[in-house]
Copies of this chain bind each other. A is one copy, B any other.
Amino acid sequence: MKILIIGAAGMIGTRLAKSIIKNKTNKTKHDITLFDVIAPKLDENDGSCRIKIGDISDSSVAAELINEMPDIIYHLAAIVSGDAESDFKKGWNTNASGTWNLLEEIRKKNISLTGSYKPKFIFTSSIAVFSGPYPNTINDDFSPNPETSYGAQKLVGEILISDYTRKGFLQGIALRFPTIVVRPGIPNKAASSFYSSIIREPLNGIEAILPVHESLRHWFASPQSAISFLLHAAKLDFTKLGNRRSLNLPGISCSITEQISALEEIAGAKISNLIKRHFDPEIDKIVGNWPQNFMATRAIELGFVADKNFKEIIQKYIDEEINLIS
Contact = CB atoms under 8 A, between A and B. Distances in A.
A244 B147 CA distance: 9
B163 A159 contact: no
Given A152-B163, A163-B152, A143 B144 contact: yes
Given A144-B143, A152-B162, A156-B160, A131 B167 contact: no
B146 A159 contact: yes
Given A131-B243, A147-B166, A243-B131, A152 B142 contact: no
A163 B143 contact: no
A145 interface: yes
A145 B88 contact: no
A146 B131 contact: no
A143 B143 contact: yes
Nearest to A129: B159
A322 B160 CA distance: 43
A84 B159 CA distance: 15
A160 B149 CA distance: 9
Contacts of A243: 131, 145, 147
A167 B92 CA distance: 13
Interface in A83-131: 88, 107, 131
Contacts of A287: none
A141 interface: yes
19 contacts: A88-B107, A88-B167, A131-B243, A141-B142, A141-B143, A142-B143, A143-B143, A143-B144, A145-B162, A145-B243, A145-B244, A146-B159, A146-B163, A147-B243, A149-B167, A152-B162, A155-B159, A156-B160, A159-B159
A55 to B, nearest CB: 19
A101 to B, nearest CB: 12
Contact of A149 (B142, B143, B155, B163): B163
A107 B141 CA distance: 33
A200 to B, nearest CB: 31
Interface centre among A141, A145, A149, A166 (most CB of B within 10 A): A145
Nearest to A147: B243
Nearest to A142: B143
Contacts of A159: 146, 152, 155-156, 159
A142 B142 CA distance: 7
A139 B107 CA distance: 35
A155 B156 CA distance: 8
Contacts of A162: 145-146, 152
A163 B92 CA distance: 10
A131 B243 CA distance: 9
A135 to B, nearest CB: 9
B160 A152 contact: yes
